[in-house]
Structure 1
């Protein structure tokens, strides 16, 4: 199992075009967050990306109540592509939750675990 904590406010995935990624402030914020997640994940990886099925559990600690949980999940799993696993299509089990917190405690806690071919947690 791989466990990571990404400090700071969780940032949801946003739709963008090649043009808008340079002009849209939300796209810029999202791209910076993806790089941060990827950099932290690289620090925890000891080898090549996982090749089989994986499960991902996310806990987003967020101040306030404006968050789209599926876009938060997508932002993190996209950022882990080619680092923790080869492609986010390998994610066969997902769990995501939003937990309220103080502004200075915002973060995302991530657990990635390998699954066997039946979708059970591998030993």
Structure 2
């Protein structure tokens, strides 16, 4: 293995861990009160990426996915799915779901996390 391939594989593992943790943070950080403000901010950035950057790059665009998929392509990986969640399900569990199912579940779970975060950040009564 040459140095370039080593660095690409290192990048692959970095993005597998980083992006997976980011997804888990987006879905579940609302559960831990000290992270509520960060959770809302990161979710807002995620939705902005999907929607605003999506105007130019396609709805649901994520730069982290783009960077990771570029590394995978440089490693010779082909037939990458449209969504990163589909990629994770295939790579980690050999689970192949229809794209519309994955997009629906991703959007639904993300919206649920956003609603919970907005409620907990702004509408829940503060207790002392």
Scaled by the length of structure 1, the TM-score of the pair is 0.27
Determine which structure has more spread, i.e. the larger CA radius of gyration. 2
Scaled by the length of structure 2, the TM-score of the pair is 0.26
The structure richer in helix per residue is 2
The structure richer in strand per residue is 1
